[in-house]
A = this chain, B = another copy of it.
Amino acid sequence: MKPLGHKVWAIPGGHIPLRSTGRQPEFTSHDRLSILNTGDEEAQVEMTLFYADRDPIGPYPLTVEPRRVRVVRFNDLIDPEAVPLDTDYACVLESSVPVVVQFTRQDTRQAENALLSVMAFAVD
Protein backbone atom coordinates (compact mmCIF):
# COMPACT_ATOMS: atom_id res chain seq x y z
CA MET A 1 0.00 0.00 0.00
CA LYS A 2 1.26 3.46 -0.84
CA PRO A 3 1.85 6.07 1.86
CA LEU A 4 -1.47 7.77 2.64
CA GLY A 5 -2.07 11.15 4.19
CA HIS A 6 -0.08 14.31 4.74
CA LYS A 7 3.30 15.36 6.08
CA VAL A 8 2.30 18.25 8.36
CA TRP A 9 -0.50 18.15 10.92
CA ALA A 10 -1.61 20.52 13.66
CA ILE A 11 -3.62 20.07 16.88
CA PRO A 12 -4.40 23.36 18.65
CA GLY A 13 -6.32 22.05 21.66
CA GLY A 14 -3.89 20.10 23.82
CA HIS A 15 -4.40 20.04 27.60
CA ILE A 16 -3.54 17.10 29.87
CA PRO A 17 -5.90 17.08 32.87
CA LEU A 18 -4.12 17.39 36.20
CA ARG A 19 -5.92 14.70 38.12
CA SER A 20 -6.85 11.11 37.41
CA THR A 21 -9.23 8.60 38.95
CA GLY A 22 -8.85 4.82 38.74
CA ARG A 23 -6.20 2.25 37.94
CA GLN A 24 -3.04 3.43 36.20
CA PRO A 25 -2.14 3.51 33.39
CA GLU A 26 -5.53 2.46 31.98
CA PHE A 27 -7.50 5.29 33.56
CA THR A 28 -4.80 7.95 33.72
CA SER A 29 -5.94 11.26 32.27
CA HIS A 30 -3.98 11.81 29.08
CA ASP A 31 -3.76 13.29 25.60
CA ARG A 32 -2.54 11.00 22.86
CA LEU A 33 -1.77 10.90 19.15
CA SER A 34 -2.38 7.92 16.89
CA ILE A 35 -0.05 8.10 13.88
CA LEU A 36 -0.71 5.77 10.95
CA ASN A 37 2.10 5.05 8.48
CA THR A 38 0.66 2.93 5.66
CA GLY A 39 3.77 3.12 3.45
CA ASP A 40 6.90 1.03 3.04
CA GLU A 41 9.28 3.56 4.48
CA GLU A 42 9.86 4.49 8.13
CA ALA A 43 8.30 7.82 9.07
CA GLN A 44 10.71 10.16 10.80
CA VAL A 45 8.50 12.46 12.81
CA GLU A 46 9.25 15.64 14.70
CA MET A 47 6.73 17.29 16.97
CA THR A 48 6.88 20.88 18.19
CA LEU A 49 4.76 22.02 21.12
CA PHE A 50 3.40 25.57 21.35
CA TYR A 51 2.35 27.28 24.57
CA ALA A 52 0.38 30.36 25.57
CA ASP A 53 3.18 32.28 27.22
CA ARG A 54 6.57 30.94 26.17
CA ASP A 55 8.48 29.87 23.08
CA PRO A 56 7.79 26.57 21.35
CA ILE A 57 9.55 23.46 22.64
CA GLY A 58 10.99 20.84 20.31
CA PRO A 59 11.67 18.96 18.29
CA TYR A 60 10.33 15.82 19.93
CA PRO A 61 11.63 13.11 17.58
CA LEU A 62 10.00 9.76 17.04
CA THR A 63 9.69 7.15 14.32
CA VAL A 64 6.79 5.13 12.99
CA GLU A 65 7.76 1.88 11.29
CA PRO A 66 6.41 1.01 7.85
CA ARG A 67 2.83 -0.37 7.84
CA ARG A 68 2.35 0.36 11.53
CA VAL A 69 0.31 2.63 13.78
CA ARG A 70 2.05 4.27 16.71
CA VAL A 71 0.28 5.74 19.71
CA VAL A 72 2.10 8.43 21.67
CA ARG A 73 0.88 9.72 25.01
CA PHE A 74 1.92 13.33 25.52
CA ASN A 75 2.25 12.48 29.21
CA ASP A 76 5.19 10.22 28.32
CA LEU A 77 7.24 12.76 26.34
CA ILE A 78 10.39 13.76 28.21
CA ASP A 79 12.98 14.85 25.62
CA PRO A 80 13.66 17.77 25.26
CA GLU A 81 11.19 18.48 28.09
CA ALA A 82 8.20 16.87 29.85
CA VAL A 83 4.80 18.30 28.94
CA PRO A 84 3.35 20.18 31.91
CA LEU A 85 -0.05 19.03 33.18
CA ASP A 86 -3.09 21.30 33.31
CA THR A 87 -1.52 23.61 30.72
CA ASP A 88 -2.82 24.60 27.30
CA TYR A 89 -0.56 23.57 24.45
CA ALA A 90 -0.74 22.94 20.71
CA CYS A 91 1.21 20.45 18.60
CA VAL A 92 2.60 20.59 15.09
CA LEU A 93 3.75 17.25 13.69
CA GLU A 94 6.07 17.03 10.68
CA SER A 95 6.77 13.68 9.05
CA SER A 96 9.27 12.60 6.40
CA VAL A 97 6.53 10.62 4.65
CA PRO A 98 2.73 10.96 4.52
CA VAL A 99 0.91 9.82 7.66
CA VAL A 100 -2.60 10.21 9.12
CA VAL A 101 -2.95 11.59 12.65
CA GLN A 102 -5.80 11.47 15.19
CA PHE A 103 -5.85 13.20 18.59
CA THR A 104 -7.71 11.80 21.60
CA ARG A 105 -8.14 12.90 25.22
CA GLN A 106 -9.15 10.72 28.14
CA ASP A 107 -10.26 12.85 31.07
CA THR A 108 -10.64 10.97 34.38
CA ARG A 109 -10.62 13.90 36.77
CA GLN A 110 -13.95 12.55 37.93
CA ALA A 111 -15.02 9.00 38.73
CA GLU A 112 -16.58 8.51 35.30
CA ASN A 113 -14.26 9.19 32.39
CA ALA A 114 -14.95 11.52 29.49
CA LEU A 115 -13.50 11.29 25.98
CA LEU A 116 -12.96 13.57 23.03
CA SER A 117 -11.28 12.99 19.71
CA VAL A 118 -10.55 14.93 16.55
CA MET A 119 -8.68 14.20 13.40
CA ALA A 120 -5.62 16.46 13.43
CA PHE A 121 -5.72 19.26 10.85
CA ALA A 122 -3.72 18.54 7.69
CA VAL A 123 -1.80 21.72 6.88
CA ASP A 124 0.08 20.76 3.73
Contact = CB atoms under 8 A, between A and B. Distances in A.
Count copies of this chain in the complex.
4
A47 interface: no
Given A12-B102, A50-B67, A114 B114 contact: yes
B119 A113 contact: no
Contact of A119 (B112, B114, B121): B121
Contact of A88 (B22, B34, B110): B34
A105 B14 CA distance: 13
Interface in A58-116: 67-71, 88-90, 92, 100-102, 104-105, 107, 109-116
Contacts of A10: 4-5, 36, 38, 100
Interface residues of A, number: 54
Contact of A90 (B11, B36, B114): B36
Contacts of A71: 13, 15, 52, 88
B109 A110 contact: no
A45 interface: no
